[in-house]
Amino acid sequence: MNLSTKVGSFALSNPFIAASGTYGYGTEYGDLSPAKEWGAVILKSVSKNPRPGNVPPRCCETDSGMINSIGLANVGLEKYMAEKLPAFASANPDAVCIASLAGETLDEFLHLAEKLSGNSTIKAFELNISCPNVAKGGMHFGADCSASRQLVQEVKKISSVPVWVKVTPSTTDPVGVASVCAEAGADAVVATNTIPAMKIDITRCRPALGNTFGGLSGPAIFPASLRIAYMIHRALPQLPLIGCGGVDCGEKAVQYILAGCSAVEIGTATFRRPDTLAEVKQFLKDYMEKMGFKTVEDFRGLAAR
């Protein structure tokens, strides 16, 4: 069974992509979930300077998912380039690596894109304009159409690799944001990121997270993220689209493809079951065989017609 797919002109051996922030710098999982088995892996979002992240606790469980307020903790661009990318490349010579860029300002995004353009390990950029856990940049950027347009246009001018944009579910007009990104030249849109949420610890009588609010991920967000992906595909059928949010089994991945996505990111599910990728791949093969589909393209978007 041929599981290969294309996101625009970007070819992947299979539609499954490890979501940023849930696969570290691509070496931590080792043999538990080898990078080369994924269609691609997206490393933890990188910012210009190192970020310590938010005060702990940074994660808590909820029904059918988790809330995180990591706050884009990361090693910063210098260490990323000097240590993390070479370590990834030597541990995973056959894997496809995508860099997730997180700037607080347009200039920071451009700095990241400029420095990482031409790095042979990076095959695409994902612009994280949808993180709910940081005071600047992130979601505040992504909910603003004119800021998104300018960002994508400027990054495209200096990028030597495809530019994907991860849009936020926290806007009343996700289709509008996706449309602006497409007009600005985005090679694909990723729908979507975590949904703002909170939990209260009734013993401490305080919010459970040090940052009070965080981003909800996991199965709880699947129906909401799927709806946004579907709406974007209906409005912009030519725009390469990647589904993200809540996939913990092959059946949900297939739903994203039927909604119009060429690939599907998986994050939180891998924390619970590092073998999630093997299960979703097997499900996809069995589904395609049962339904008589030869390729992913044969059924992509069928539910949106």
| Binding-site ranges for ligand FMN (CB under 6 A) | 19-22, 44-45, 68, 70, 72, 100, 128, 131, 166, 193-194, 217-218, 221, 244-247, 266-269
Annotated catalytic residue within 97, 131, 244, 261: 131
Is beta strand 188-191 parallel, antiparallel or unpaired with respect to 195-198? unpaired
Closer to ligand FMN by CB, 77 or 293: give it. Answer: 77
Closer to ligand FMN by CB, 112 or 221: give it. Answer: 221
Closer to ligand FMN by CB, 33 or 128: give it. Answer: 128
Q: Which residues contact 83 (CB under 8 A, 6 or more apart)?
A: 75
Whether the bond between 57 and the residue before it is cis, its omega within 30 degrees of 0, is yes
Tokens of 81: 């380039």
User: Considering the complex, what minimum distance in angstroms separates the CB of residue 42 from ligand FMN?
Assistant: 7
Position of minimal CB gap to ligand FMN? 21
145 has catalytic annotation: no
Q: Pinpoint the alpha helices (H) of 161-293.
A: 174-183, 222-235, 250-259, 268-272, 276-291
Closer to ligand FMN by CB, 68 or 121: give it. Answer: 68
- Ramachandran region, residue 276 (left: φ > 0; alpha: ψ -120 to 50; beta: rest): alpha
Q: Please, is 274 exposed, middle or buried when counting C-beta atoms within 10 Å of its C-beta (0-12, 13-18, 19+)? A: middle
- Kindly list the catalytic residues: 131
